[in-house]
Chains A and B, each alone.
Chain A
Amino acid sequence: MPIYLDNNHLTRPDEQVTEAMKPFLGANFHDPMAPYTQANLSRRAFGDALEKLYAGIHAKKEDEIIITSGDTESNNWLFNSIYVHQILTGKRTSIIISERENLAIMAAANFLESQGVKVFRLPVNSDGVIQPQDLLDYITPRTALVSVTMVDEESGAIQPIEELAEICEQYEVPFHTDATQAMGKIPVDVQRAPITFMTFSAHTFHGPVGVGALYIRQGTELPPMLMGDPAAMHGKRAGQLNLPGIVGMGKAIELAVDALEFDMEDVREMRDALEEKVREIPDVQIITPWSLRVPNTLTFAVRGVAASALLIELNRSAIAATDAVPSPIRRGLIDAIGADTALRHTVITLSLSRMNTEEEMDDVFKALEESIGLLRDESPVYEATTNEEQA
């Protein structure tokens, strides 16, 4: 049976989610904003979904949760709108992100940098975690935005969002966090910190793909990026509402929040059992300490084994996972945490969900042990790098 361990990328929609969506893919197709009676069911479903979303992240009624097509759209909207309305107008000057943001934020920030905007990138320490005091080196009252992901999508490192948001509040600088990798894994509560903007996508907490949101704290101005019907999302985001997706996201967040502790405890136990065995394999380095990581993620470097080769071996055992190697727009994990560069291309991420089983973890370990042994036997660099380290 196939084993899916790429849940930080995309989760399988829960059956209760797909069931909840079905009526709105058929007979109840109507626009929830339409005034006629036929649209009443759609309107009610839209309202119910919004209730669940507000409750799911503890937003106040006065705050806004604007539905988008997902985190990529939300992040691009935020960065481009800040650029056009804050930086080009001369009100503010720079943007601060971390060097371990998701690719949408890295790419958006790179684009602004190419347009002449000063972009500062906060480093992470050897655990893959940002030091909040580092923000003080860069932030000024003229900073237009500070954006730091809540959880690193590759290492699973939980970032100190509350401390960072509080520093931003002192400087009256808007603070954004992408919570896409946190939803359904750790509690997400916009009231626990002065968060101005927060992004999330349904596809990482067993909701449908193609739907997400941008949370905007009460009293914050953010002009729209997608122009059109001013009635849609109160003029903040034009386009026909993806009602099946919104209903699915509402159901998914309800399930994720209701069972968070229970589900994540099970996931953590499965992950930990696997992690314990993986630690026994020689020359394997776990990235980010256990206590600083979300419960579903296990990211590790396997000395002498290219991550791409290991993934192909795992694929032969019907195991889907992903690598955590450098990309042209984001510094790789190994370089970011200052580890041995020989490990740069050897890092893989196994991300679990509540849909995995303990038996699967046994199979995964067997496949890992066998594949690593095989690949090391024929690796031209394994012995060499180990000897160098010993020297």
Chain B
Amino acid sequence: MSQENLMTDTHYDAYGFKVQSMIKKPINYGAIDTDEAAQLGGELFVHRWGGAEYGEAITLYWVVEAATGTVKMSRFEHFGNPVARAANDMLCMLSRNKKVEEVAEITYKSLEYFLRDNPTTPALPEPMQYTLTHAMTAAAEAADAYLGNKPDEAGSVIVCDDAPISRTTIEQVIRLHDLESVEQITHYTLAGAFDSDCATKLGDILRVVRAQMAEEAATQAVPEDTEFAEMTDEQKIAKINAVIDQHIRHFLVMDGGDMEIIDIKQNGEHHDLYIRYLGACNGCASASTGTLFAIENALKTHLDPNMRVLAV
């Protein structure tokens, strides 16, 4: 509890400029018909997610170029809290010109950072985080449906009566956001928001996942005094990712890009990190100069002076 918590954070006027604009006038709102899809050189693919009974429903319209499996155009229609329009609108923008399987891989961090007005202020208050989860889940399910992938058993079991969210998604959300309470699960998924009987089920899932996370952390734990050079490659990558998340990623995402780690290799006294730029970073003018130095400097400062970063 803090002074900030004492104020309601879901007030209509509490959102940033970008989110408010997308709530009011989403650019990618509306249906696409087969004629329009044909004009755009693709086939229409429609996926419906959620339902009126849950209070949240999304219909995704994709124009997919059959030969390449590339999403040429993406639009949506939504029933529910209009704040969700922002997440869906941004996801539609990010989906364009990506292969269907790449749409399913758009990360929460990318989506959330793109909705920010500035790098340090979260786009949405915690109680509205579910809008991001819903948008990503709908898109991932659409991609699976398009590609003919069938969810596993846990992926098809809806846990609560009040949100179309599977057990697999709830487990992923707990891990991704390091959630510690049922209330937080509700904020990130809407599960349990209206179905009070669901709290016990969510509590059980939370306990199981937290126990797994604790076990994993114990096996992967690095003693505090371990030198970076003495860590395993997995431990090094985890440390590098943490530094990139904290110091670099939001700047990349705000510019429409991102990066991913390909490999790390020991080269004499140097730790050579191989990365790949994503989105706007891929091929941008500063990718091999300013951006690369910024990443390398951050890693040298926070991890080891012998870090070297190579873009592939």
Binding site for B on A (CB under 8 A): 304-306, 308-309, 312, 315, 325-329, 332, 341-346, 378-381, 385
Contact = CB atoms under 8 A, between A and B. Distances in A.
Contacts of B162: 326
B194 A342 contact: no
Interface residues of B, number: 27
B81 A308 contact: yes
A345 B53 CA distance: 7
Contact of B78 (A315, A328, A380): A380
Interface of B: 12, 23, 29-30, 48, 51-55, 57-59, 77-82, 162, 186, 192-196, 199
A348 B162 CA distance: 19
Contacts of B82: 306, 308-309, 312
A325 B77 contact: no
Given A312-B12, A341-B53, A344-B52, A381 B79 contact: yes
A378 B52 contact: no
Interface centre among B54, B57, B78 (most CB of A within 10 A): B57
A381 B57 contact: yes
Nearest to A382: B79
Which secondary structure dominates chain A's binding surface? loop
A326 B160 CA distance: 14
A267 B110 CA distance: 52
Contacts, number: 66
B30 A378 contact: yes
Contacts of B53: 341-342, 344-345
Which secondary structure dominates chain B's binding surface? mixed
A294 to B, nearest CB: 25
A325 B48 CA distance: 23
A325 B55 contact: yes
A380 B57 contact: yes
A12 to B, nearest CB: 20
A305 B29 CA distance: 16
Contacts of B78: 380
A328 B194 contact: yes
Contacts of A342: 51-53
Contacts of A346: 52
Contacts of A325: 55, 194
B62 to A, nearest CB: 15
B27 to A, nearest CB: 13
Contacts of A332: 194
Given A378-B30, A380-B57, A381-B57, A309 B80 contact: yes
A379 B58 CA distance: 9
Contacts of B52: 304, 341-346, 381, 385
Contacts of A385: 52
